[in-house]
Structure 1
Amino acid sequence: MATVTLSSADADKLSNLQSATVALSQISENEKTGFINLVARYLSGEAQHVEWSKIQTPTDEVVVPYDSLAPTPEDSSEVKNLLDKLVVLKLNGGLGTTMGCTGPKSVIEVRDGLTFLDLIVIQIENLNSKFGSNVPLLLMNSFNTHDDTQKIVEKYTNSNVEIHTFNQSQYPRLVVDDFLPLPSKGQTGKDGWYPPGHGDVFPSLMNSGKLDTLLSQGKEYVFVANSDNLGALVDLKILNHLIQNKNEYCMEVTPKTLADVKGGTLISYEGRVQLLEIAQVPDEHVSEFKSIEKFKIFNTNNLWVNLKAIKRLVEADALKMEIIPNPKFFDKAIGINVPRSRFLPVKATSDLLLVQSDLYTLQDGFVVRNQARENPENPSIELGPEYKKVSSFLGRFKSIPSIVELDSLKVAGDVWFGAGVTLKGKVSIIAKSGIKLEIPDGSVLANKEINGPEDL
């Protein structure tokens, strides 16, 4: 176990927790050890400490500008060689509950009747077909999504993509007052457990046996991304750069906007590149951390990691249980400052409105931005609670409005959209309480505030 310094009261808490955890039959020895280590680090405060005065802005050697990467090799046999070293891993542990769906979030329909998972498979199918490569897809499920995903992937049996699934760890929830695991107190259902953060991806990949299988097939790099990030496509320029420069770890970062102020960022710290998360920031510096003046980039959660390095570090227990695996443990770790188009997560129905609209089209499983939009930033969209669930969101639009010229949209109350509506500039539609407000078919609303039918 990791050596951490604890007060005697905390040491007693940990000792009791350890005894109770050992008795849990539902999880493996690896999971028990990982859980106890995580709690020990939490109690010691070790995970929190970062000395603000030591933080430095990373140079272009550490956070490489995307435009400075060498172009992709033109010879298709060279591209095949690159791709044959690659594995794509999507984090598939999340449920669609925030958007009112049951089951894995990756099976929500995004566009043209295709789900997140359909699009991911189509993208890799196209790569494998075009270059004769064999890029496999790994899905890291949680205990929440495992059973459903196993059934869902059966529909890709005839695909040219090998699909592997494995489960991330299952940790018991803690009861704060007596610091004991919930499952040891008779709470045996799913509510007594939680899947830990992304830092768990590498130990779980190893413990599942998948890592050794991939290494035996000659695979060298894994591209890890959230399954709901539609911008997280395989990028040959990045893969080529990492192989040429022997970088064991790469985190994609992108310029921060005011919408991303809580996202982690890369810093230079004691001569090494390191991830700085908001939880590690001393209270008096939080507003500085959130400003886009000092910290200009944030973590997209797209990672590229060398598989042999993962094996070396997991075996040495060096990664500990970071919420997101920290680059400081890897040799020649870098960030790459990528275009914003590589970060297109769908976290809420407001994001779904963007990707289902004429702001994007679908080509070969990729969501491509409409060239007709002049503003490089997407419109900001706020939808009221009436639109929170996917089913009610879809029910309130006869068709998704045209938003190529939209700057911002705010909708609240009992609002229903007809077909062929166009929104431009700044539009606010706030229905008064008790009023059903219907936007007629074909309406064009430009820079308007609407509170009732009389404003239309």
Structure 2
Amino acid sequence: MADEKLPKLREAVAGLGQISDKEKSGFISLVSRYLSGDEEHIEWAKIHTPTDEVVVPYDTLESPPEDLEATKALLNKLAVLKLNGGLGTTMGCTGPKSVIEVRNGFTFLDLIVIQIESLNKKYGSNVPLLLMNSFNTHDDTLKIVEKYSNSSIEIHTFNQSQYPRVVADEFLPWPSKGKTDKDGWYPPGHGDIFPSLMNSGKLDLLLSQGKEYVFIANSDNLGAIVDMKILNHLIHKQNEYCMEVTPKTLADVKGGTLISYEGRVQLLEIAQVPDAHVDEFKSIEKFKIFNTNNLWVNLKAIKRLVEADALKMEIIPNPKEVDGVKVLQLETAAGAAIRFFDHAIGMNVPRSRFLPVKATSDLQLVQSDLYTLVDGFVTRNSARTNPSNPSIELGPEFKKVGSFLGRFKSIPSIVELDSLKVSGDVWFGSGIVLKGKVTITAKPGVKLEIPDGAVLENKDINGVEDL
């Protein structure tokens, strides 16, 4: 089957003027791997739980030298790269997700810039910031970073690859069938970071500046800050790749985990798990950790592996329907590259290093009194004794950032909250305190207003009469 489809596809891709030859060959390589079906299947019996040598407990790391010059020398070997290709569409925003306001009027990107500025200022170092955009976020990001033109840090932007969506029934690129606008294309997942870093020229630039490691993280993860202990460990142990993992809770059961497999450390994603073992995968007994997507990678190793075309990460087929047409996009994940690097490790880090904002319920957490903001760093309030955060479920009325913000006069105090579930047309006054388990349900067609200063502890509220 592959024999018939590939030549036609190759011919059609050759005629696409919008993308570079490197993007064309990368795309063809991905498709031919997919069609050949030579994906490695995991043999369940060969999976082993990684030892502490492979997944290093964070609390066993040595503290780096306190000496200012030594710290500066360490930091000068580092670049920070944020994945900035995502749009804030799920939260009702247009443009890059990184420009959503998180706290005190600061966006994700503002906080990232402030963090790196304060590091560089404190140690006299030169840690640059790179933003990997997609064609969806590129133009907006260029405008946004202009506001940092007076900043003391070097900011670089580059684009990840742009691949054509494939029309499922004919297996031809959609742009060659006349779909020439943005919908005909897709960014092929963050696994594409390695060739894109190389193709953009940024990899060679970093190497020429004496950089050795890049710290990669999602731009919406507020916990992903530069950690000297981790950097120090990697440089001393010469680990080419480090994935930060953290203990699973029941909210993370679908997250990828690290396993030892045939003598190497490997990422296991739920999509690779045979149906008979999915429940086992989701249990937090056997697979106790999950991937935060905070990755530390050696730059020379990236260059070596990209040049050898050795990074053959598992392909994630992502079928979609756009404008009534069934299309296929093939993607890869950066975490899956771990098995190709030498001396690759996991690092079992505190949960505080994983604070993503995927929905408005996450935004409520980080805007509340559960966190404070110092030098761009979001720090958890020590007054909360429970190590895990409250679980918050907000109804569809709160899904978009605009409507979420409109429904709160101020964000309630939640330091003593265990769980909150809100459904229906609910509005919050200012100075509200929530404690224990709180459920608020507005009856259909009824607007329910929680008054200023209300203190709700272990309450189930279905109307004004319950307040």
Normalising by the smaller structure, the TM-score range is: over 0.9
1:51-83 deviation digits (Å, cap 9, x = unpaired): 111110000000000001110211010000000
2:426 is the alignment partner of 1:415: yes
Partner of 1:352: 363
Give SS of 2:193's match: helix
CA distance in 2, matches of 1:321, 1:337: 23
Structure 2 counterpart of 1:160, from 152, 156, 162: 152
Matched AA of 1:18:
R
2:232 is the alignment partner of 1:240: yes
- The more displaced of 172-181 and 162-171 is 172-181
Q: Would you say the 8 A contact 1:401–1:421 is kept in 2?
A: yes
Matched AA of 2:418:
D
1:321 shift after superposition = 4.7
Residue 303 to residue 209, structure 1, CA distance change in 2 (3 Å): same
2:407 is the alignment partner of 1:396: yes
Partner of 1:441: 452
Matched AA of 2:232:
N
1:204 shift after superposition = 0.1
2:169 is the alignment partner of 1:177: yes
Matched AA of 2:309:
D
1:45 shift after superposition = 3.3
Partner of 2:346: 335
Aligned residue pair count: 448
- The more displaced of 346-355 and 32-41 is 32-41
Q: Percent identity?
A: 81
Structure 1 counterpart of 2:33, from 41, 66, 86: 41
Partner of 2:464: 453
Q: Would you say the 8 A contact 1:37–1:321 is kept in 2?
A: no
CA distance in 1, matches of 2:445, 2:104: 34
Superposed CA RMSD in Å reads 0.9
TM-score (norm 2): 0.95
1:433 shift after superposition = 0.2
Matched AA of 1:349:
T
Give SS of 1:201's match: helix
CA distance in 2, matches of 1:291, 1:44: 33
2:307 is the alignment partner of 1:315: yes
1:36 shift after superposition = 1.7
Partner of 1:51: 43
1:116-146 deviation digits (Å, cap 9, x = unpaired): 0000000000000000000000000000000
2:262 is the alignment partner of 1:262: no
Q: Where in structure 2 are the equivalents of 1:370-409 lying within 5 Å?
A: 370-409=381-420
Q: Would you say the 8 A contact 1:95–1:144 is kept in 2?
A: yes
CA distance in 1, matches of 2:164, 2:239: 35
Partner of 2:263: 271
Give SS of 2:378's match: strand
CA distance in 2, matches of 1:23, 1:277: 35
- The more displaced of 255-264 and 13-22 is 13-22
CA distance in 2, matches of 1:426, 1:148: 41
2:104 is the alignment partner of 1:112: yes
CA distance in 2, matches of 1:146, 1:213: 20
2:212 is the alignment partner of 1:220: yes
1:130-174 deviation digits (Å, cap 9, x = unpaired): 000000000000000000100111111111110000000001111
1:14 shift after superposition = 2.1
Q: Would you say the 8 A contact 1:47–1:280 is kept in 2?
A: no
Matched AA of 1:430:
T
Partner of 1:136: 128
Matched AA of 1:373:
R
Structure 2 counterpart of 1:365, from 364, 372, 376: 376
CA distance in 2, matches of 1:357, 1:227: 20
Q: Can you give the 5+ residue segments of structure 2 that lack an aligned partner in the other structure?
A: 315-331
1:33 shift after superposition = 1.5
CA distance in 2, matches of 1:177, 1:259: 37
Q: Would you say the 8 A contact 1:95–1:103 is kept in 2?
A: yes
Matched AA of 2:181:
G
Q: Would you say the 8 A contact 1:48–1:280 is kept in 2?
A: no
CA distance in 2, matches of 1:287, 1:178: 36
1:48 shift after superposition = 5.4
Matched AA of 1:244:
H
1:43 shift after superposition = 2.6
1:278 shift after superposition = 1.2
Matched AA of 2:150:
N
TM-score (norm 1): 0.97
Matched AA of 1:168:
Q
Give SS of 1:138's match: strand
Matched AA of 2:373:
L
CA distance in 2, matches of 1:439, 1:295: 41
Matched AA of 2:383:
A
CA distance in 2, matches of 1:266, 1:321: 15
CA distance in 2, matches of 1:40, 1:341: 41
1:277 shift after superposition = 1.0
Q: Would you say the 8 A contact 1:108–1:116 is kept in 2?
A: yes
